[in-house]
Structure 1
Amino acid sequence: MGLGGTAFFASLATVLAVVGAYLYQKKKKEILPWTWEEVGTVKKLNLYPLKSGHRLELSTAECTPVGLRQTKEDEQVYQLRDRGLVVYAEKDREFRTARTYPKMVLIDVAVHDEDHLAIDAPTMRTLYVKIPSKVDQKESIIKLHQGEEIYTIDCGDEAGSWFSRYILGTDAGLRLGYHDASRRRDLKKAHKTIFDYYKNLSNNSAGLYSDLTSVLLINQTSINDLNKRIGNSSISVDNFRPNLVVDGPNIEPYAEDTWEWVKVGDVVLRNVKECTRCILTTINPENAVRSSDREPLKTLEKYRMSNGPSKAPIMGINLEVRKTGFIKVGDPVYVARSE
């Protein structure tokens, strides 16, 4: 065999080795655990129809690839999705949140009928928003964290004026965007540094307008321990805006950090990242008042700092939906580690 043939087969062997390694890792990633350990039960199920808005507490939820959704038993004509609505600025098309405008946490969203949502906030008349479609409304691109470009359907001028008056006190400046779940986000493009560090994170982890992933889980005993550390504190789990709250008599505080897999009913979730926390946790979700002492961030910064690129305090875990299904309050929660 000549040098050319030898080089060819050497190159082919290299390619096959690379492809084989990729397929092995892909298959390994897709394998779900066989054995599970029961750790507690689902204490709360929260859905946030509007990013930075008020929570909607559910007794049952459908867990879809992009996060929680109401069930038809709960709301027959239309089912709200988690963080399926977002407020953004008309001028720069960047999203706006309660981090800057705390009063946003008081905005409630409900289903009015098969074609309309009802949106309420203190001192404001009820806004009835026609559920938009790509046929009727303009598609657009807005920006989330790190300049991530994400698809939205604008909800119209009346909605824009309503949100502008409530949040800014002006007749214009803000718009309301809606996601119909027809497209997935390209997280990796805008969040490369995070992807390089968290190896289980993928584009399939993304929610609709969530900061990153589709599901956020918190262990209630972690909140209990945090309150003890703060002293004379009644910080609520809702300050952290989780979708799933797990509780149980034998769960240690922060045990969720070690749960690589979580199973509830038929739903299987993969722990892809600890949840780094921001100033939004200092806002009381019931009255929109920001804490004057920066709690709970101040205490978390003393003992719960991430080693990742964000260098921020952590509470709870970000999950990717690996198997869809339904979750009910009171369901047993099982966890597993990778084999």
Structure 2
Amino acid sequence: MAQLTSIHRFPVKSCRGESVDSALVEPWGLSGDRRWMVVDEAGTVITAREVNRMLLIDPVLTGDGLLVTAPDLPPLSVPTPDPAAQVAVEIWASRLTAAPAGPEADAWFSKALGCPARLVHLDDPTRRPTDPRFSGPDDRVSFADGYPLLLATEESLAALNDVVLESSGGGHAPLPMTRFRPSVVVSGVAAWAEDDWRRVRIGEATFRAVKGCARCVMTTVDPDTAVREKEPIASLARIRRWDGATWFAINLVPDTPGATIRVGDEIEVLEAVPPGAGPIRPAR
């Protein structure tokens, strides 16, 4: 039986995530996922693609905000800011507003990153639509890259690690799933089966699989050390390269917001295309 083996949320975009046993599915993602973001002085998103050390920042959701820790810095409690104050922010093609966390949080994140930085909170995720090419006009997303959830399978990771091991002559340790920052991880299916899914049920929640996930250099940064290497992009380029990108995992949009998913939930594929058709991706 295919089942949900782990759930992950990332309170601050590009910082460390936390594993949970259950999560409420909201229209824009898992509850508490990527509602905070770090931006530069112009309001443009800062990510671990450029500042690798972001992966060493460990945020934990509290009852009234965040507790953040990082190497060589004292912990900081950040209350959820007043949404009455808004600043302009930019994340990829999205331009919207968010609530500033304030000078103390800005100073802490600037020290942690080694560059000027500001922390903001997305008090109202309905401000950010998803890409209309792959989703509906009413779909929304938090500060995740493009879509509310990302699903990966243990079998696909195992298949990729076989290639990594072969490419390294047996010298490379298996890559952990944390390299790929999925929201949900599934087991009990064939490797790469998720490519063909179009609708899936996880427990009582149903989702549309709207697009494959093209992977960037962020996956090459070790989440434990913030050191960059060539994997997994080098091995993905051997077996999962098309349309000028490398692909791993699929993006989901909830059709039943308000449902709660739990580790151990059964997975049911409600709609799929014939094997080999591949994930949804930009038209050539």
Q: Does the pair score TM above 0.5?
A: yes
Structure of larger gyration radius: 1
- 1:216 corresponds to which residue? 150
2:88 is matched with which residue? 141
Aligned position for 1:27: none
Q: Which residue number in structure 2 is paired with residue 68 of structure 1?
A: 30
Please state if 1:46 is matched with 2:5: no
Structure 1 residue 128, shift from structure 2 partner: 1.2
| Residues 1:300 and 2:236 are matched in the alignment | yes
CA RMSD of aligned residues (A): 1.7
Q: Distance in 2 between the 1:301 and 1:119 partners?
A: 35
| Cα distance change on mapping 1:121 and 1:204 into 2, 3 Å | farther
- Aligned-partner Cα distance in 1 for 2:270–2:254: 15
Distance change >3 Å, CA 320–CA 51, structure 1 → 2 = same
User: Conserved in 2, the CA contact under 8 Å of 1:206 and 1:212?
Assistant: no
- Match for residue 17 of structure 2? 55
1:230 and 2:230 correspond: no
State the match for 1:94 in structure 2: 44
CA contact (8 A) 2:11 2:61 kept: no
Residue in 2 aligned with 1:8?
Answer: none
Q: Look up the equivalent residue of 2:175 and give its one-letter code.
A: I
Which letter maps to 2:157?
I
Determine the structure 1 residue equivalent to 2:245. Answer: 312
Amino acid at match of 1:295: E
**Counterpart in the other structure of 1:247:** 187
SS of 2:6 mapped into structure 1: strand
Residue-by-residue CA offset, 1:222-260 (whole Å, 9 max, x unaligned): 000001011134111110000000011xx1111001111
Does the 8 Å CA contact 2:200/2:271 hold for their aligned counterparts? no
Q: Can you list the C-alpha shifts for 1:254-290, whole angstroms capped at 9, x where unaligned?
A: 1001111110122100000001100000011122121
Q: Which has the higher helix share?
A: 1
Whether the 8 Å CA contact 2:13–2:143 is kept in 1: the answer is yes
Alignment of 1:143-222 (within 5 A): 143-146=90-93, 148-168=94-114, 173-188=116-131, 195=133, 198=134, 201-222=135-156
Counterpart Cα distance in 2 of 1:116 and 1:65: 21
Aligned-residue sequence identity (percent) comes to 30
1:258-277 alignment, distance < 5 Å: 258-277=196-215
Aligned-partner SS, 1:287: coil
Inter-partner Cα distance in structure 2 for 1:282 and 1:52: 13
Equivalent pairs counted in the alignment come to 266
Normalising by structure 1, what TM-score? 0.75
Length-normalised TM-score, structure 2: 0.89
Cα separation, 2, equivalents of 1:105 and 1:322 = 31
- The residue that corresponds to 2:282 in the other structure is none
Q: 1:150 to 1:306 in 2, by over 3 A?
A: farther
Contact 1:139 1:151 in 2 (8 A): yes
Aligned to 1:289: 227
Aligned to 2:58: 108
Q: How far apart are the structure 2 equivalents of 1:209 and 1:296?
A: 24
Q: 2:254 aligns with which of 303, 321, 327?
A: 321
Q: Distance in 1 between matches of 2:267 and 2:185?
A: 10
Q: Deviations over 1:113-142 (max 9, x none)?
A: x3342111111101111111223xx20121
Return the offset for 1:185. Answer: 1.2
Q: 1:266 to 1:144 in 2, by over 3 A?
A: same
Residue identity matched to 1:217: L
Change (3 A) 1:140 1:162: same
